[in-house]
Structure 1
Amino acid sequence: MTELFGFAPVAVAAALFAAFGSAFVRGLTGFGMAILLVPILALALTPLDAVLLANFLSLFIGLSEIVRLVRGAERSAWHIAGVVLLTAPFGFIALSYTSADVARLLIALIAFSAFLAVLFPRRPAAPHGAATTGAVGVVSGLMTGYAGMPGPPVVPYYVGRDIPRETAKASMMLIFTIAPLAGLATGAVMEVLEWQLALFAACLFPAVLLGNWLGNHASGRVSDPAWRSIVGLILAGAAIAACLRLL
């Protein structure tokens, strides 16, 4: 059997490794799954397939924890997620008209932007204003559609504030669960969403569950300052790896 659901063995192996590793990071930090997963998948699959596959996996793992996420998230997460659903289709349409090489470069740059954003000084715990929240939703939506990465603007929005770690994690994860719906719906409407991707995602999902469980278990043993440092290091590593792979 030379292919699985139309994908070469090297692509399947890369997807399995990336799914497990990115899910572990998600469980540990509350984000990072798409930021790590999409750049790696985009080197083995087409950027369009990479984004759609990441959308499926993010949706699946989010739904498995939806009760906890709804209970622990800030109200702002619902506002951002709503804006993301409205704006993500525009990013996805742009991706469909972009060449593969250009898309891979832009996806790597988006991953790098997330690292830069968390370097800003932390803010007080008070919520951001409506304008900032709306802007984060718009940018996150465009990045969701184009790169399958709602995280770059969302992570500094929550991690950059002095709020409890579990509140930040639940808020980010709730957005990352809702955001993929826009990309998948747009892909279906544009008739570029293939059923093989859903089956492929289902086969990868056990690795995602295991990685996420291990990450959650490790998270409880990490102090808050160490957790924030890990967030920055993971973002930096993902950005550097994506850029080096392009070169």
Structure 2
Amino acid sequence: MPWELAAAGGLFVAIASFFRGLTGFGFAIVATPLLALVLPPALAVPIVLALQIPAGIQTAASDWPDTDLRAASLACLGGLPAILPGLWLVSALPAETMRLVVGVVVILSTVLLSFGFRLGRGPRTHELLGSGAMSGFLMGAVAMAGPPVIVLLLASDWAARRCRATLSLVFFMLGCATFALGLANGVVTLQSLILAALYAPGLFAGQSLGGTLFSRIDGRRYRAVSLATVAATGFFVVIRGLAGH
């Protein structure tokens, strides 16, 4: 690979990991399209899958005191079994149609939160299981697990640190499951693992910078940045869906 493309890939990984360090989510949805600009998508996706493992370990360790382990476990309990149905559906329906539906739902959810919708309480068991199931389904269908759990936690009365730490653990666990499926199906290759190792320094640098910035913002700004990230995700998915039609 030319060194210019390798350097660009490292920069893109650092940018995506910055958002993950700041919000607790967003790495895959930012890194995948950026890496696809300089790498074949068939190589970009497994690199992102591989990098989610060290990214999650770093944040899970540093954010452990603020993590709601019960909430994260319930979300993953709902999410892990739903990955396979998502994979099945994407093979049965056009991917562009799925992206359009998901993108519109994400945008509408963001608008609802932006206008002040709040639960005024912590998330309940059935809400965590349900949002986790939807997240796992979306991970399998369109490789985008975030919005359901993100919307639920941002609407709660939780502090920013608790939201960010719990989201980090949820997406780390779902990422591990997806990575394992990728290995089993031959999607993750030796070449992708080598490139992921080369990009790891940018991953850690970007995530550390994002975490540093997070420690300097208040809960209101955290929610604003997180909502903007979710909205951008929705618009990106809609654009991809429209481009494919």
Tell me the number of residue pairs that the alignment of Structure 1 and Structure 2 aligns. 237
Structure 2 residue runs of 5 or longer lacking an equivalent are none
Aligned equivalent of 1:65:
59
Partner of 1:172: 167
Equivalent of residue 196 in structure 1, options 180, 191, 194: 191
Q: Deviations over 1:84-138 (max 9, x none)?
A: 222223334555x489xx647755764564343233312112322x332222111
5+ residue gaps, structure 1, are: none
Alignment TM-score, normalising by the size of structure 1: 0.81
Please tell me the residue identity of whatever aligns with 2:228: L
Please tell me whether residue 55 in structure 1 is matched to residue 25 in structure 2. no
Answer yes or no: is the 8 Å Cα contact 2:75–2:132 preserved in 1: yes
Mapped to 2, the partners of 1:155 and 1:41 lie a distance apart of: 24
Instruction: Give the TM-score normalised by the residue count of structure 2.
Output: 0.81
CA deviation string 1:32-86 (max 9, x = no partner): 2122223434555555544432222121111123333443222111111133222
- Mapping 1:1-247, distance limit 5 Å: 2=2, 10=5, 12=6, 15-42=9-36, 45=39, 47=41, 49-74=43-68, 75-94=70-89, 97=91, 103=95, 106-107=98-99, 110=102, 113-120=105-112, 121-128=117-124, 130-241=125-236, 243=238, 247=243
**Matched residues in 1 for 2:185 and 2:78: separation?**
21
1:88–1:142 contact (8 Å) kept in structure 2:
yes
Distance 1:192 1:219, change over 3 A: closer
Q: Cα–Cα, structure 1 residues 93 and 180, in superposed 2: closer, same or farther, change >3 Å?
A: farther
Q: Give the CA deviation at 1:192.
A: 2.8
For residues 226 and 80 of structure 1, the distance between their equivalents in structure 2, rounded to whole angstroms, comes to 25
Matches of 2:100 and 2:34 in 1, distance apart? Answer: 10
AA aligned opposite 1:58: Q
